[in-house]
Chains A and B, each alone.
Chain A
Amino acid sequence: MAEPVQASHAHEKHHDEQSFWRKFIFSTDHKVIGVQYSMTGLAFLLFGFALMMLMRWQLAYPGEPIPFVGSLFGDNRAPGGIMLPDFYNELGAMHGTIMVFLGVVPLAVGGFGNFVMPLQLGAPDMAFPRINMLSYWFLFLGGVTMFASFFLPNGAAGNGWTSYSPLADIALNGQSAWLIGMIFLITSSLLGAVNFITTAVQLRAPGLTWMRLPFFCWAQIVTAFLLLLAFPPLEAAGVLQLMDRIANTSFFIPEGLVVGGEVLERSGGGSPLLWQHLFWFLAHPEVYVLILPAMGIVAEVIANNSRKPLWGYRSLVYSLVFLGFMSFLVWAHHMFITGMGSVMSTFFQTTTMIISIPSVIILSALFISLWGGSIRFNTPMLFALGFLPMFGIGGLTGLPLGLSAADIPLHDTYYVIGHFHYVVAPGTLFALFAGIYYWFPKVTGRKMNEFLGKLHFWPSFVFMNGVFFPMLIQGLNGVSRRLADGGVTYDFAGDVTGLNVMMSVSAWCLALAQIPFIINFFMSIRNGEKAGRNPWNSTTLEWLAPSPAPHGNFDQPIVVKRGPYEYSVPGSDQDFVPQADLVKT
């Protein structure tokens, strides 16, 4: 059979002659694309965090001018440096959007999934390298659209990251740009998901059966299915909301809606609840898109650093698949107070209780994996161990929210914010940091500095809790999450508003705690300790490739003979047995 000839193959034959643009910008190599995704994700995480730090000033010291940067925002956002409520809303909506869709997802799925998964599968690249490149550039376009929307005359979207109608239908801010940006991001995720699943199905190395797959790959596969099937309804909803805004349709606008004392001139007949259904049909699986790759990373790091096989590998995999399936059936637990009816509430609180079971199995199995291990407390392991109790708090605080009766008083309070931030911030973000420290040697050929890594972990751990634990207390006291002044002008907020200062100071200290990471990250690229193929004495396939791996990944044939976590096998001369035998070193 003739060799397929296509544009991307033409340059393979002249590997060394690849231009800078083909090699680093418009690359089809999954590793370069993975790094592009990761850097974009990290940059947006920092940007989203910066938005939050501004909000925290307003919450702790409402009505006082923002120090240092207050004069930069102009008179229509912050006259005299004092933040207006509209500006607060804009920051809040964009913080959520950016952190979820441009920070965590690109890093956890686009970055780690792209870089690590083909290596762990023993594949030379993704199944569709050019679609992979396209998917990154759609993300980039989406990011540019979101970022540029801040410079629109009326500012960026300010209707919450959930963009509830009818407010989002009629708001004068950058909601249309938000929707267009989301359509780019959704397209990017769809292309990526098709690629991930096809790669996992088709390109596993010989001998790599499904039950020999590292848990991280399972997590990426389930995540890809969630992205593939849950995102299109939001794309549909986005198009409809865009039509509501641009073509004056009434998909989400009820009859006789009164705005500013006047009846809105629209045909009406639409349903605001419909938006919520379509949105949460995506956004609940999206929660699992944020957490599953994190669980995958933590599982790899824990197995490697406890020098033990993962406890209950099969239960972990089955739980993961069941979790993915169930995540499509719980969305309306975000909507208990919408008046959708007690039959619906009963159904969705039942499914919500059911979905907590596999989550608990996964967390328990990871804890039990530590039992009797000879644990190495290096930086990736510290972050992975930090993930476990933090995700535990996040998950357990979610249970009351899944029950309709308990949710009604807690809905829209800081308790909800505390709950999901425990899942995503000290949960997912810690896992992502663990992954960065763990796979950094494979990307660059050098290890990150351990001392700076610990200087990053311990303050981050303390201040993360300093930010988010008081939120649970405030929320239980009934402080609404929608108050632009942190509650000082509201009697019901009571005596817990004083916690705002502590939370804000913690947030700023958390920012300082990231400085060792940033220094470590860039210094180690050139000056880190040199790492060989397998600096962590790990078993999975990515560590059989050279560090950094060349285009095409492996310099030797890969034939998998064992399961993914053969650590401390009795009778073996070293405490790990790689999945495939290393021919060349």
Chain B
Amino acid sequence: MEIPYTIEAHPETGLNNGKIGIWLFLASEVMLFGALFATFIMLRLGADGNWGAMQEEAELNVPLATLNTAVLIGSSLTMVMAWASLMRGQLARFRLFGWATVGCGGIFLVIKYFEYTAKFAHDHYPESNTFLAIYFAMTGLHALHVIGGMAWNAYFAGPGSKLFHRNRQWLTDRVEHSGLFWHFVDLIWIFLFPVFYLL
């Protein structure tokens, strides 16, 4: 049995099921990170002016984070290129850009790893103060999202790309949806970077 509008768009909404599904999922993600940003605000307001001191003591590495921001923005670019390649029917180029996206995610995580270990080396743990606690909680959850997006994209660039020969449109749609998720994860970082490193 076939579910209607899995691939073709619904005549009234103009969207297929997956597109609606991913947007709804992203809405729930906004609430998830929204709650964490609200927590950040409550903790910062409740710190009685000690927040700046805690932030300074944490010595977050702004140049590394700037590099990471560039890496993630670059990965959004390769993500769009991967999708555009599929739209043009270029499988090899799609796979190239797909793996490039996964690779950028990998570079991001490696840099994040060096940042984390530098903190641990200075005895800066989540338990040290509330700034570090929310820093590790939010960037950690974001990193989990990056890993999820990488797995998703790696699947389509790898074994999932076989779908190209059976149903190109379907693969293109699914890559578009995973791209929406990837851009969202990117966007979260665009908020995290100034909130923790610059403000």
Contacts and interface: CB of A to CB of B under 8 A. Distances in A.
A278 interface: yes
Given A240-B137, A552-B1, A4 B7 contact: yes
A274 B42 contact: yes
A575 B169 CA distance: 48
Interface stretch (B23-31, B93-101, B183-191): B23-31
A237 B129 contact: no
B10 A228 contact: no
A247 B20 contact: no
A1 B2 CA distance: 13
A72 B141 CA distance: 42
B34 interface: yes
A194 B22 CA distance: 8
Given A197-B24, A228-B27, A270 B3 contact: no
B59 to A, nearest CB: 17
Interface residues of B, number: 48
Nearest to B6: A4
Q: Say what secondary structure dominates the interface of chain B.
A: helix
Given A4-B7, A4-B167, A12-B1, A232 B32 contact: yes
Given A202-B20, A232-B35, A250-B127, A4 B28 contact: no
B34 A3 contact: no
A248 interface: yes
A239 interface: yes
B5 interface: yes
B109 to A, nearest CB: 19
Contacts of A197: 20, 24
A203 interface: yes
B67 to A, nearest CB: 27
Given A124-B3, A243-B137, A269-B47, A233 B24 contact: no
B42 A202 contact: no
Interface in A184-204: 190, 193-195, 197-198, 201-203
Interface string B127-144: 111100110110001000
Contacts, number: 151
B3 to A, nearest CB: 6
Contact of A243 (B13, B16, B38, B133): B133
A5 interface: yes
Nearest to A189: B28
A235 interface: yes
Given A127-B17, A274-B39, A4 B170 contact: yes
B43 A251 contact: yes
B123 to A, nearest CB: 13
A251 B130 contact: yes
Contact of B134 (A203, A235, A237, A251): A251
B126 A198 contact: no
A233 B32 CA distance: 5
Interface string A230-250: 111101110110010001111
A3 B6 CA distance: 10
B39 A229 contact: no
A61 interface: no
A514 interface: no
A274 to B, nearest CB: 5
Contacts of B29: 232
B46 interface: yes
20 contacts: A4-B170, A123-B4, A124-B3, A126-B3, A129-B3, A190-B25, A198-B24, A201-B10, A202-B13, A228-B27, A228-B28, A231-B28, A233-B32, A236-B33, A247-B126, A251-B134, A270-B46, A271-B46, A281-B35, A552-B1
Interface of B: 1-8, 10, 13, 15-17, 20-21, 24-25, 27-29, 31-36, 38-39, 42-43, 46-47, 50, 125-130, 133-134, 136-137, 141, 166-167, 169-170
